[in-house]
């Protein structure tokens, strides 16, 4: 080592090693998980609700025909 070279520093660890994800990354992944769960729930529950409304309409209980009774 010459006097112009900086000494090697090994206290930083391996620069290619995996590190823990940062807080914004975790927040973004959590938001994506929530949105994906909402979309999956909508895809699963929408046909069930639609068939229930269709069954009510076929029985003559159309929610659009119900009259509002005010106070």
Single pTM value for the model: 0.53
3-state DSSP assignment of residue 33? helix
DSSP output for the chain: --TTSPPP--TT--TTS--PPPHHHHHHHHHHHHHHHHHHHHHHHHHHHHHHHHHHHHTT--GGGPPP---
- Can you give the pLDDT at residue 61? 80
Q: Report DSSP state, residue 65.
A: G
The number of angstroms, rounded, from the C-alpha of 38 to the middle of its chain's C-alpha atoms is: 7
Query: Do 53 and 63 meet the contact criterion of CB atoms below 8 Å apart?
Result: yes
pLDDT in tens, 2-55: 677 777 766 666 666 667 778 888 999 999 999 999 999 999 999 999 998 888
């Amino acid at each position: 080592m010459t006097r112009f070279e900086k000494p090697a520093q090994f206290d930083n660890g391996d620069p290619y090693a995996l590190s823990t994800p940062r807080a914004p990354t975790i927040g973004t992944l959590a938001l994506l998980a929530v949105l994906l769960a909402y979309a999956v729930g909508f895809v699963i529950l929408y046909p069930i609700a639609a068939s229930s409304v269709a069954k009510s309409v076929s029985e003559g209980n159309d929610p659009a025909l119900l009259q509002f009774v005010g106070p």
